[in-house]
Structure 1
């Protein structure tokens, strides 16, 4: 609990007062999981915290258990699993920030958190991950970004998904934080929106200063050192020719003109992070050194072969003593989706039979189709009902995706054999058939 503090997330002064007056960990928080910004590693930290404390997590029904109504800003009754009392402590899945909707669903003392990264680094990651470099007709295969940045407006990178305009190359981080693509060039509106975000959010983590951000998170949320440990094993690292490319000043400026809100937002929240750190005093950097040492020790211990005797981390200025066991290591190294599944079991979330054809295939699969004017690919059904003449017009990459979807559909159908629960559309819950 926080005594004598108005929990409205309206100023950095209030954040500092919380830090001084907190006597127990804050357990109500919404984490906006910004795509391709280190958010899965961060969400795993949040999920482990929620699991250990048996918090009520608002979890999405569709989107592969990862996306909560994205890219729509409003979650409907059908979009998430419902608790009997409709009380929720935590949200940490991909969803677009919507202040009004979230304030109605979460307690008034909820902390709002997010993570972002340097915009050009973000562009490189999204270009590769979503297959934009392979979906558009670039001649420079080794570095399509150079070609793209000569004239970004020339390329059809925007598309509509479930009625919402999406562009993974333009202000994509600001989009996840609620700023629409249609206002890409409205810098006055963008600056005002960033001001509002700065008032709303307790902390926006910066990927380039990830450890600094986690220590600041621990302090603002009154958590323990053990709560912010993370797995340092490289995961899902993809190699592509332009990954380490450093743009020329002309190219960076072209990208800044294309994604001005992302650049302004990154500048603001990078600045805000360092302002918060400066207010902490020199012991912040002492804790940062301590945290890095402990995180390294824990990761090295967890990489040892089993059986392992428990490792004790002694009490410090910044937290109580704790033990690292085989179970702790398993949880630390567990993928985010696996932790989320454990939370589902803990909460009694049923294994539900959402018709396989209605399952969301996600933007990773959809984007190569949208960018080339292909058919709607929001669900399995959208991709599998294509006629032969449509299939013949697809690119090699698109045909491979369709083949993968068909295999996934068969796996889904096999997995659902014998399951009794079915989704009742419009009810916002699941019922067993009579």
Structure 2
């Protein structure tokens, strides 16, 4: 209850504002003089939120876009904070969905992809995209983040020991607990993460993903991915400006041995094939639609605008550790051995700038809870299960 009241106070003065009002503080830098073909922003978008792939940052972008254009979001029903995950997605996992069907503009919370059920919820002209990450860094990140929750990780000393003999710790039958330990991206796309790495099977799956998704981004090239997304959806720079969310402090990163890196390619071979395939298609798409020279210009422009916004919004102008976040209502969810970073806002912001800056740093669970309360005011507010917030605010 206290947490809900505090979040409500954060957003006093209203949260829904139209495009020109929200982002006035972003207009201080000269626009790039890039010729453009008139187009209309795509507003029906489904983002498959994969795990440990910078997808929380993308979700924040999607939520802010939804508010900016007053769009409806397919949010998890009742007290869920995800769309039924790790169960395969069903339409009734969305709050307000009826059997007769209702189209939403935006879908981006965690789910295990099931195209026929997603299509019941989203409009026929919906744009589908997702994001992948190099499985080597992904597995290390998963190990640290899910260390306490995944049996395959819990009983090993560190990630290198786990990778020396993963079959010693991993039980495929216990998939609900161990999905994060092997081929997690493959699983998120709706496939068996313990399947054999059979060439024919892999090619069938890659073809199915290509047919279901219009675009696959690469987290290792996040800024480049945002520029490609901007061009593809006819969004503007304000729509894809971001602060990195749900990242962890460097002192919790475990150093992988060269042997461990090679073992990940074998252990997570399905994810490795997935990543290699779409990393190639990503750069091919860049070359065909933007070109490397223009891409570099726009990435630099994005980073300049991001730097300006950090100077405007943040007291430290960078992320800080969990113990140094002053407003505990904005504390990100903490998991495993990871120290998930957050932000402190400057104290001298006017109301309009404050609203914009708050959006930029809003953690995933809090933002989901807030949008749920706005879209479904008659429903009980989501109880987020963050006891440290209840006692600290």
The answer, yes or no, to whether TM exceeds 0.5 is yes
Partner of 2:102: 86
Distance between the aligned counterparts of 2:349 and 2:161, measured in 1? 52
Correspondent of 1:30 among 37, 46, 64? 46
Q: Does residue 66 of the first structure (1) align with residue 81 of the second (2)?
A: yes
Normalised to the residue count of structure 1, the TM-score between the two structures is: 0.66
Q: Is the 8 A contact 2:102 2:120 kept in 1?
A: no
Q: Does residue 266 of the first structure (1) align with residue 266 of the second (2)?
A: no
Distance between the aligned counterparts of 1:66 and 1:335, measured in 2? 12
Q: Give the secondary-structure state (helix, strand or coil) at the position aligned to 1:102.
A: helix
Q: Does residue 137 of the first structure (1) align with residue 155 of the second (2)?
A: yes
Residues 176 and 137 of structure 1: CA distance in aligned 2, closer, same or farther (over 3 Å): same
Q: Give the secondary-structure state (helix, strand or coil) at the position aligned to 1:183.
A: coil
Correspondent of 1:341 among 366, 369, 372? 369
Partner of 2:300: 289
Partner of 2:255: 245
Q: Give the secondary-structure state (helix, strand or coil) at the position aligned to 1:325.
A: helix
Q: Is the 8 A contact 1:187 1:261 kept in 2?
A: no
Residues 146 and 307 of structure 1: CA distance in aligned 2, closer, same or farther (over 3 Å): closer
Distance between the aligned counterparts of 2:130 and 2:38, measured in 1? 21
Q: For residue 339 of structure 1, report the CA deviation from its aligned partner.
A: 2.6
Q: Is the 8 A contact 2:89 2:114 kept in 1?
A: yes
Q: For residue 262 of structure 1, report the CA deviation from its aligned partner.
A: 0.4
Could you list the runs of 5+ residues in structure 2 that have no partner in the other structure? 1-35, 316-345
Matches within 5 A, 1:238-387: 238=249, 243-248=253-258, 250-279=259-288, 280-281=290-291, 282-304=293-315, 305-308=346-349, 325-352=353-380
Distance between the aligned counterparts of 1:92 and 1:22, measured in 2? 27
Distance between the aligned counterparts of 1:325 and 1:191, measured in 2? 49
Distance between the aligned counterparts of 1:265 and 1:135, measured in 2? 23
Q: Give the secondary-structure state (helix, strand or coil) at the position aligned to 2:190.
A: coil
Q: For residue 253 of structure 1, report the CA deviation from its aligned partner.
A: 2.8
Q: Give the secondary-structure state (helix, strand or coil) at the position aligned to 2:216.
A: strand
Q: Is the 8 A contact 2:40 2:234 kept in 1?
A: yes
Distance between the aligned counterparts of 1:113 and 1:224, measured in 2? 18
Computing the radius of gyration over CA atoms, which structure comes out larger, 1 or 2? 1
Matches within 5 A, 1:14-25: 23-25=39-41
Matches within 5 A, 1:88-103: 88-103=104-119
Correspondent of 2:138 among 112, 122, 125? 122
Distance between the aligned counterparts of 1:240 and 1:103, measured in 2? 42
Partner of 2:188: 176
Higher percent of residues as strand: 1
Offset from partner CA, 1:295-331 (integer Å, 9 cap, x none): 1111211125343479xxxxxxxxxxxxx82221121
Moved more, 206-215 or 107-116: 107-116
Correspondent of 1:47 among 43, 63, 68? 63
Distance between the aligned counterparts of 2:381 and 2:246, measured in 1? 30
Q: Does residue 227 of the first structure (1) align with residue 251 of the second (2)?
A: no
Q: Is the 8 A contact 1:113 1:203 kept in 2?
A: yes
Distance between the aligned counterparts of 1:271 and 1:284, measured in 2? 16
Normalised to the residue count of structure 2, the TM-score between the two structures is: 0.72
Partner of 1:156: 170
Residues 349 and 87 of structure 1: CA distance in aligned 2, closer, same or farther (over 3 Å): farther
Q: Is the 8 A contact 1:114 1:203 kept in 2?
A: yes
Q: Is the 8 A contact 1:95 1:176 kept in 2?
A: yes
Offset from partner CA, 1:189-210 (integer Å, 9 cap, x none): 1222112212322222211110
Could you list the runs of 5+ residues in structure 1 that have no partner in the other structure? 1-19, 311-323, 362-403, 412-434
